[in-house]
Amino acid sequence: MTNFFPESKPMGRRKFMTLGLQGAVAMALTPTMVRALLAGGNQAKLEVPPELLQKVITSALKRGGDLAEVYVENRISRTILLEEGKFKSAVFGLVGGAGVRVIDGDKTGYAYSDEVTEEKLLRAAEVASFIASSGKKIKPVNIKEQKRPSYVTVKIPLEEVAEAQRMEIMKRAEDAALSYDPRIKMASIDYYDETRDRLIANSEGLLVKSSLPLIFFIVQTLAVGNGSSHMGRERLSRHAGLEMFEEESPEKAAKEAARESIAMLEAKEAPAGKMDVVIQNGWGGVLVHEAVGHPLEADNIARQTGAFVGKLGKKVAADIFTMVDDGSLPGFRGTTDFDDEGTQMKRNVLIQNGVLVKFMTDILSARQLKMERTGNGRRESFRYYPIPRMTNTFIEKGQDKPEDIIASTKSGLYVQSLTGGSVDPTTGVFNFTCREAYLIEDGQKTVPVRGATLIGSCLDIITRIDAIGNDLAFGPGICGKGQSAEVTAGQPTVRIRGINVGGTRQRA
Amino acid sequence: MDYRALVEQVIKDCLKRGAEQAEVYLEDNRQLNLDIRNGQVESIQEAQSYGLGIRVIAGKRLGFAFVNDLKAESLKKTVDRALELARAVSPDENNQLPVEAGETEVKGLYDPQLQTVAVERKLSLIKEVESLALKKPGITKSAGASYSENESLILIASSSGWVKSYKSTGCGYGLGVIAEKGEQKSSGYESCSRRYFSDLKPAEELASKAARQAVEMLDPRPIKTQRAAVILDPEVAYAILGGIVQAINGQRVLQGASFLGKRMGQKIGSELMTIIDDGTREKGLASAPFDGEGVPTQTRTIIDRGVLQGFLYNAYAARRAGVKSTGNASRRSFSELPGIGPHNFYLAAGKTSPEEIIKSTSRGVLVKEVTGYGINPVNGNFSGGAAGFFVENGKIVFPVKGITIAGTADEMFNGLDLIGNDLDLNRTMTAPTIRIKSLQIGGE
């Protein structure tokens, strides 16, 4: 896969590890790419007998602990790359395994295995159990399978789709991109799909299973002209079968990427310094994902290090600002039936009319903070233990018409799309890179300007949001926090007063 | 498990079932991660895992399949999958596995002692670094300390007639601390990664550095938007090197998606600018005897006194460009096809001490932290968030936060007018302190 826009990782405290060990460490510290599962082929891995699960849980608790859990996973994946007019490669993957976790007070013990056999599971339980030292013994509740509602429906199952059908969709996108304008010199279409099967059992008696399909479709286009080049991008993603492309047209995505790359060929220097910024609806919500979302993840709060420590119940943002994380939005990229600890997904209002009302928890941080479990315990694969993560995170829609927001902005920057960004959750200092932006002059969107960085601090920025549109929309993305997670970010058109923009031009 | 016999068998199977060329990439890893906070263990994670990827070429078409189940039946299915996919894609005459036999001798990739050092010792190292840092004046909280190690075996078998393998280790530890003053919060992070456990820096060194970083950034003052000199600390080397690494990616160059694509042999920057890619350095964190598809690694000058000398290639891109692979096939995992990436990539040291660089700067910013994507590899534009110190009349005067720096690659490369003598080669992408004559700085 050619990745022209490496997704930025938020600055977690594991960052230094992954950076420092590049090259030295291969699989363990490389996130991504844990994939696979051939329908019918290795399904058996998820057919772990309940008696064995019970035995592993009991064994994991032999030195004590508050919770023991077994997580079994299988992933089938396909990746196809169409670039420069050729289907350059096709990749099929099948990866499965299981992890055993023990929580004892604030401590977590974790071990995993590629093989889901009694011997390996008991060995993992043994390793995970070493962490326990409190001597606190609990008796595990007998597991019993529970049926859960699903927020994902499938009409055309991925395993019934021939490669040729996937490739035809890719070709449609490529044709649409290349015929958009002669200045489009190259199109790159990445197609990825997976089916991820999970089984989660724990000492609270939980036993849940689910199978989730996911499609991720990325169009990138290179425009060359006017002495410049620009790579445009558009992404589609859903938990769905191939019917996703009936609702989300590959041609439309391709034209959008092409439109962006052509528009940005005319980009002028961006101004530098503080100014008012209007951010278009959709993926622009990544700004609050980073700036506000990460600091609202409860692990920072339980550690007493986060920017929002001590702010629960307090007014932290403007009255018009309501922010939600909802992992149950049907078919969305950040949605699952239940999180990777088996907690039911639901709508969680985090900030209500400017008042901080909830943090996003996993089992551990919910225990530590004596808060409810919000369904945010997520993990990249069985090779990771879960941590609090966002799902589908967005600013709730407001009253303003988007055109009125622009018209009432005397001068500033209109950000049509953002590439991504990062945040230090301790200090709340964040940054974003604009993909497509325009000047606002006398209430009008005027000339395009080059990709500038926007920076600020989370506690400050949410007090500066003074207009929120009625046009809520979403965009799919990848979030990194030592491990990667599928998310969507959403927002209506919003205006932020006085944000620092990193352009190259000194303003008059 | 006899991996060598296993991968040789898979190659045979591929050829028997219709592949003209085949490659198996196998990886076996042992991993240990330890986290502590406030003197207490927070998590211990340990595991051994493996997986393999099968690349086949049939009728000039490429198929790839990977799996982490090494049973014969599952491997057979994976071979079939790879061949099936090869039938679906487009033929491409550049699909050709590398033939280069042999390996580069690289010393110090594997520390046989790493596994024998007790976990308690590793835990006490991070407990020590945290407790030392918490004693530093101004430090109010710990953001935790972590240790992580990895031991891996990589094996590549090819129908070109060879099986190559090597073992490597890596270990590292680091910490985060917080300094608070009234409503202000400032964080500092420091870490050290090495191939050998005994080469890790002492805890006191890391603790002081993290603490200093957090404390010295308290009480920042705003600065005006202005053009001024920008001094980049070695910590932010990626701000300048990250974009270059992507722009010299041979595949990107062929696709016309690099601002350096048409500038081979041309002067692209100051004469002080020399950049090396070294895959052979003893104990180097990005060293290896061969690259992700078995091509021996080498040391190459990428930019020689400002003149662009080389791009990075894997076998596919090299063939397409009509050159030889430079041994830069990168493979982050068995689940990926070879991409293109650097080894130990660095800007060569100059003669000036970092103190002299500051002393000779009349007005500018010493940048300790840069956020954002660095230089855009497509068009060379640069914009990032930054924090550091304001420098006036050769002296550091106060910390600055929440500023931006922006410019173009041209401005940055040509504006390099001082290069420090403080190059630390124990990092994978690294530079000494450097000064860029003038860039746009965004402030108030």
Higher pLDDT, A457 or B266: B266
Look up residue A178 and give its two tokens. 């290349």
Type and span of the H or E element at B83: helix B72-88
- Alpha carbons B137 and B140: distance in angstroms, whole number: 9
Is B72 near chain A, with CB under 8 Å?
A: no
Asked whether residue A464 carries a pLDDT value surpassing 50, the answer given is yes
Give me the DSSP letters along B29-43: EEEEEEEEETTEEEE
What pLDDT was estimated at residue A106? 94
- Alpha carbons B355 and B416: distance in angstroms, whole number: 17
Residue A278's nearest CA partner among A395, A477, A417 is A417
List b or e across A106-122, with b for residues whose CB sees 16 or more CB atoms inside 10 angstroms: bbbbbbbbbbbeeebbb
Asked whether residue A144 carries a pLDDT value surpassing 70, the answer given is yes
Is B425 near chain A, with CB under 8 Å?
A: no
Closest Cα in chain B, distance from residue A504 (Å): 5
Q: Is B381–A21 a contact, with Cβ atoms under 8 angstroms apart? A: no
What pLDDT was estimated at residue A241? 97
The structure tokens 């600390």 sit at B233
Residue A431's nearest CA partner among B406, B171, B437, B131 is B406
Is B190 near chain A, with CB under 8 Å?
A: yes
What pLDDT was estimated at residue A127? 94
Asked whether residue A27 carries a pLDDT value surpassing 60, the answer given is no
Share of chain A above pLDDT 70, in %: 91
Q: Which of A27, A67, A71, A104 to mutate to test the interface with B (most CBs of B within 10 A)?
A: A27
Is B355 near chain A, with CB under 8 Å?
A: no
What pLDDT was estimated at residue A31? 25
Residues 164-183 on B with a CB inside 8 Å of A are 168-170, 172, 174, 176, 178
What pLDDT was estimated at residue A508? 56
Q: Can you tell me the ipTM of this complex?
A: 0.93
Mean pLDDT over the full length of chain A: 89
Closest Cα in chain B, distance from residue A27 (Å): 5
What pLDDT was estimated at residue A426? 82
Residue A214's nearest CA partner among A410, A422, A493, A486 is A486
The structure tokens 């007014």 sit at A315
Q: Is A86–B227 a contact, with Cβ atoms under 8 angstroms apart? A: no
Asked whether residue A4 carries a pLDDT value surpassing 60, the answer given is no
Is B249 near chain A, with CB under 8 Å?
A: no
Instruction: Please name the residue of chain B whose CA is at the shortest distance from the CA of residue A164.
Output: B88
Asked whether residue A6 carries a pLDDT value surpassing 60, the answer given is no
Q: Is B442–A111 a contact, with Cβ atoms under 8 angstroms apart? A: no
Residues 24-53 on A with a CB inside 8 Å of B are 24-30, 32-36, 38, 41-42
Kindly list the domain boundaries of chain B, sorted by start residue. Answer: 3-214, 220-444
The CA radius of gyration of chain B, in Å to the nearest whole number, is: 24
> What average pLDDT does this structure show over A73-90?
96
Domains of chain A by start residue, with CATH: 31-266 (3.30.2290.10), 273-502 (no CATH)
Q: Which of B70, B151, B193 to mutate to test the interface with A (most CBs of A within 10 A)?
A: B193
Neighbours of A313 (CB within 10 A): 9
**Chain mean position to CA A47:** 29
| Residues B38/B39/B43/B47 CA torsion (nearest 10 deg) | 140
Strand spans (E) along A203-272? 206-225, 228-238
Summarised one tens digit per residue, pLDDT across range A321-376 is: 999 999 999 999 999 999 999 999 999 999 999 999 999 999 999 999 999 999 99
Instruction: Please name the residue of chain B whose CA is at the shortest distance from the CA of residue A129.
Output: B44
Question: How many CA within 13 A on the CB side of residue B122?
Answer: 21
Q: Is A373 helix (H, G, I), strand (E, B) or coil?
A: coil
Taking the alpha carbons of A158, A159, A160, A162 in that order, is the dihedral positive or negative?
A: positive
Cβ–Cβ < 8 Å for A460, A285: no
Q: What angle do CA B89, B27, B34 make, to 5 degrees?
A: 125
Summarised one tens digit per residue, pLDDT across range A361-420 is: 999 999 999 999 999 999 999 999 999 999 999 999 999 999 999 999 999 999 999 887
Closest Cβ opposite residue B92 in set A4, A86, A131: A86
| Residues B29/B78/B328/B287 CA torsion (nearest 10 deg) | 10
Low-confidence ranges of chain B (pLDDT < 70): none
Residues 176-205 on A with a CB inside 8 Å of B are 185-186
A307 to chain B: which residues are within 8 Å by CB? 185
Total number of residues shown for chain A: 508
Cβ–Cβ < 8 Å for B101, B80: no
- Alpha carbons B276 and B329: distance in angstroms, whole number: 17
Type and span of the H or E element at A356: strand A355-356
Asked whether residue A43 carries a pLDDT value surpassing 60, the answer given is no
- Check: pTM over 0.90? Answer yes or no: yes
Fold entry, domain B3-214: PmbA/TldD fold (3.30.2290)
Residues 128-147 on B with a CB inside 8 Å of A are 141, 143-144, 146
Summarised one tens digit per residue, pLDDT across range A250-273 is: 999 999 999 999 999 999 999 998
| Residues A118/A119/A125/A129 CA torsion (nearest 10 deg) | 150
Mean pLDDT over the full length of chain B: 96
Residue B375's nearest CA partner among B224, B248, B231, B234 is B248
